[in-house]
Amino acid sequence: MSAQIPAVRSTEQLREKWMKPEVITGSEILLRSLVLEGVECVFGYPGGAVLYIYDALYGFKDFHHLLTRHEQGAIHAADGYARASGKVGVCIATSGPGATNTVTGIATAFMDSVPLVVITGNVVSSLIGTDAFQEADITGITMPITKHSYLVRSVEELPRVIHEAFHIANTGRKGPVLIDIPKDVSADKTLFEPVQSINLRGYNPKVVPNHHQLEKVAAAIKEAERPVILAGGGVVYSGGHEELLEFVTRTEIPITTTLLGLGAFPSGNPLWMGMPGMHGTYTANQAIQNSDLLINIGARFDDRVTGRLDGFAPHAKVVHIDIDPAEIGKNVKTEIPVVGDVKTVLELLNPLVGRSDKADAWRSQISQWMADKPYKYKDSDTELKPQWVIELLNDTTKGEAIVTTDVGQHQMWAAQYYKFNQPRSWITSGGLGTMGFGFPSAIGAQMAHPDRLVISINGDGGMQMCAQELAICAINNIPVKVVVINNQVLGMVRQWQELIYENRYSHIDLAGSPDFVKLAEAYGVKGLRASNKEEAKQAWKEAMETPGPVLVEFVVSKEENVYPMVTQGSTIDQMLMGDCE
């Protein structure tokens, strides 16, 4: 890759440089604190209420600031950065509309437990509550979608607040924290001394599990005849993928990984059954439904995974490992709850477990299902099939790229046909299902990993929700390969209308979309288009060989559906198999 992304400058010397006590403004305190928290890159958009902060940023070189074209772009980029790096993503927006433009991104990060610190400006303290120009109660607005939030009352609080915000965002069950800073607070001066300690009485995430519970899990594994592991995003976030591999290797229990858990377990491993749930594999869903022991590791039993709850895993004793005790028993009755950090839990659990010997017949059954009912589609020589395009990307990159997606059919095909082998390589909006997320999150991921190949897979709908960020790629030479799977409709909506709403195709036609190649070129990004296999191979080859950002539009068939599919209200073994039959 020939990324010329500005170098990251967070070093120990830098920290020392900013540690010395000094009387400075709130804005300077903010910037120094961010450096001290290890921040390398922030995404933002200036405006009236953050002008002091941006004034302090003038010439500031100790972390990189990327000016996006919309606050939604900034916060999704910060989110992508956080998911790809495991560090806290940081976003700055001004008061009022700037702040409210981040709401979708905050909710996206909240649903998927992504650590973010969102800094918003607010009007001067004396004007708060007067409906002043560009005033919005952003702490009030975002209370339900943040892990915690602060409205900073005085400049003296600022160092403590920033330190606490980073701590809260990236510990326990991770999540977004908002810091709302009134304009006068960013201008006021005080003696800045870096905060070293944290005193949060009400916040003590339980990392180490109860040993007795682990023994129960080990005993249950020994007895199980049809055990299944369901692993989720918690494995990725805790960094416990190696421990998970060891757990599976020791027990030889078949494993399914949720949408957010893709990459937490190597897809090539014969015990991996693919993804479960609405568009999951036949095998994963049958395995869950027929299991007598279901070991949930860091997943939250989302309804897209469970389908109809009262018929979910009807024969299984349920083990649930989660750092958030509120997730245990929230949706599914749990016999063995284990509260703790996934990595720590597995480290302690692994020495206690051995091969599940009673499950040999079960393992053969599962191999049989996998052989009989893999993902399938009807390929064509006359038109491009979206699944084929994903396979092309997978084959040419050997599954090594970081892939971000938007939301819809292309997202599910990417989840089904791209084979992930390492964590933090798959970035997608799972919980909130946010269109517009795919492309800007790739910018963040590329900032986190300048030397890796980052592919952003989008539909023609979602691409138009944050397309303006092409400018950021062009100006900063961020070499994201932007894929647009263009089927000229809102594909997933079309699929539901076809299958559930009796072909009543209401308002899904995206006629009037721009010429994506010209759109890319208008921003100074190379654009390519392919409408058949030969063109596709050629265009993708050219994209891969071109340094810097490239947009490739794949014009695909309109009528393609994602299969298998579990319709809402069904149990997950009641699948429409479609072309997978």
Residue 390 as a binder of another protein (CB under 8 A): the answer is no
Q: What is the DSSP letter of 557?
A: -
Catalytically annotated residue among 71, 327, 469, 560: 71
**Which of 50, 78, 93, 151 is close enough to bind another protein by CB under 8 A?**
151
**Which of 15, 132, 203, 245 is close enough to bind another protein by CB under 8 A?**
203
**Which of 64, 76, 147, 373 is close enough to bind another protein by CB under 8 A?**
147
Nearer to another protein, 109 or 389 (CB): 109
**Which of 315, 330, 537, 541 is close enough to bind another protein by CB under 8 A?**
330
Contact 513, 460 (CB under 8 A): yes
The minimum distance between CB 144 and another protein, in angstroms, equals: 5
Contact 486, 464 (CB under 8 A): no
The minimum distance between CB 156 and another protein, in angstroms, equals: 16
Residue 500 as a binder of another protein (CB under 8 A): the answer is no
Residue 38 as a binder of another protein (CB under 8 A): the answer is no
Q: What is the DSSP letter of 123?
A: S
What whole-number distance in Å separates Cα of residue 113 and Cα of residue 109? 6
Residue 329 as a binder of another protein (CB under 8 A): the answer is yes
Residue 474 as a binder of another protein (CB under 8 A): the answer is no
247 flagged as catalytic: no
Residue 148 as a binder of another protein (CB under 8 A): the answer is yes
Residue 143 as a binder of another protein (CB under 8 A): the answer is yes
CA 538 to chain centre: 30
Q: Is the dihedral of CA 78, 83, 84, 90 positive or negative?
A: positive
Number of other residues whose CB lies within 10 A of the CB of residue 544: 15
**Which of 144, 212, 398, 511 is close enough to bind another protein by CB under 8 A?**
144
Nearer to another protein, 203 or 496 (CB): 203
Counting other chains too, the contacts that 486-489 makes at CB distance below 8 Å and 24 or more residues apart are 486/459, 486/460, 486/513, 486/516, 486/553, 486/554, 486/555, 486/556, 487/386, 487/409, 487/459, 487/460, 487/556, 487/557, 487/558, 487/560, 488/460, 488/513, 488/558, 489/558
Nearer to another protein, 170 or 456 (CB): 170
Catalytically annotated residue among 4, 20, 61, 133: 133
**Which of 53, 138, 168, 224 is close enough to bind another protein by CB under 8 A?**
168
Catalytically annotated residue among 87, 147, 174, 183: 183
**Which of 202, 371, 381, 545 is close enough to bind another protein by CB under 8 A?**
202
Binding range to another protein, per CB under 8 A, among 185-193, 322-330, 350-358, 456-464: 322-330
37 flagged as catalytic: no
Show the tokens assigned to 351: 């020495």
CA distances from 315 to 50, 223, 285 (A): 56, 14, 13
Residue 212 as a binder of another protein (CB under 8 A): the answer is no
Catalytically annotated residue among 134, 365, 422, 488: 134
Burial code (b: 16+ CB inside 10 Å, e: under 16) for 65-92 equals: bbebbbbbbbbbbbbbbbbbbbbbbbbb
Nearer to another protein, 171 or 394 (CB): 171
Longest Cα–Cα distance of the chain, Å, equals 72
CA 371 to chain centre: 30
492 flagged as catalytic: yes
Nearer to another protein, 201 or 504 (CB): 201
Nearer to another protein, 330 or 378 (CB): 330
Nearer to another protein, 146 or 409 (CB): 146
Q: What's the count of helices (H) and strands (E) in the chain, helices before strands?
A: 24, 19
- Look-up of token digits 């975002």: 142
What whole-number distance in Å separates Cα of residue 238 and Cα of residue 526? 38
Nearer to another protein, 56 or 103 (CB): 103
Residue 156 as a binder of another protein (CB under 8 A): the answer is no
Catalytically annotated residue among 465, 492, 565, 575: 492
Q: What is the DSSP letter of 512?
A: T
Nearer to another protein, 164 or 469 (CB): 164
Residue 197 as a binder of another protein (CB under 8 A): the answer is no
Show the tokens assigned to 70: 């919309």
The minimum distance between CB 325 and another protein, in angstroms, equals: 5
What whole-number distance in Å separates Cα of residue 183 and Cα of residue 446? 32
What whole-number distance in Å separates Cα of residue 28 and Cα of residue 32? 6
19 flagged as catalytic: no
**Which of 191, 208, 309, 326 is close enough to bind another protein by CB under 8 A?**
326
Contact 408, 459 (CB under 8 A): yes
Binding range to another protein, per CB under 8 A, among 27-35, 306-314, 319-327, 366-374: 319-327
The minimum distance between CB 208 and another protein, in angstroms, equals: 17
Show the tokens assigned to 569: 């209200």
Question: Sheet of 116-122: strands edge to edge?
Answer: 64-67, 41-44, 89-93, 116-122, 176-182, 148-151
The minimum distance between CB 289 and another protein, in angstroms, equals: 23
Binding range to another protein, per CB under 8 A, among 145-153, 404-412, 439-447, 459-467: 145-153
Binding range to another protein, per CB under 8 A, among 87-95, 107-115, 146-154, 225-233: 146-154
134 flagged as catalytic: yes
**Which of 37, 324, 460, 553 is close enough to bind another protein by CB under 8 A?**
324
Length of the chain: 581
Number of other residues whose CB lies within 10 A of the CB of residue 270: 11
DSSP string, 126-194: GGTTTT-TT---HHHHHGGGSSEEEE--SGGGHHHHHHHHHHHHTSSS--EEEEEEEHHHHH-EEEE--
The minimum distance between CB 173 and another protein, in angstroms, equals: 8
**Which of 140, 270, 314, 374 is close enough to bind another protein by CB under 8 A?**
140
**Which of 139, 258, 334, 411 is close enough to bind another protein by CB under 8 A?**
139
Kindly state the number of chain residues that form the binding site for another protein, as judged by CB under 8 A: 18
Residue 201 as a binder of another protein (CB under 8 A): the answer is yes
Reference 152, options 53, 20, 240; nearest CA is 53
- Look-up of token digits 């082998």: 421
- Point out which residues bind another protein (CB under 8 A): 139-140, 143-144, 147-148, 151, 168, 173, 200-203, 324-326, 329-330
Catalytic residues: 71, 133-134, 183, 492
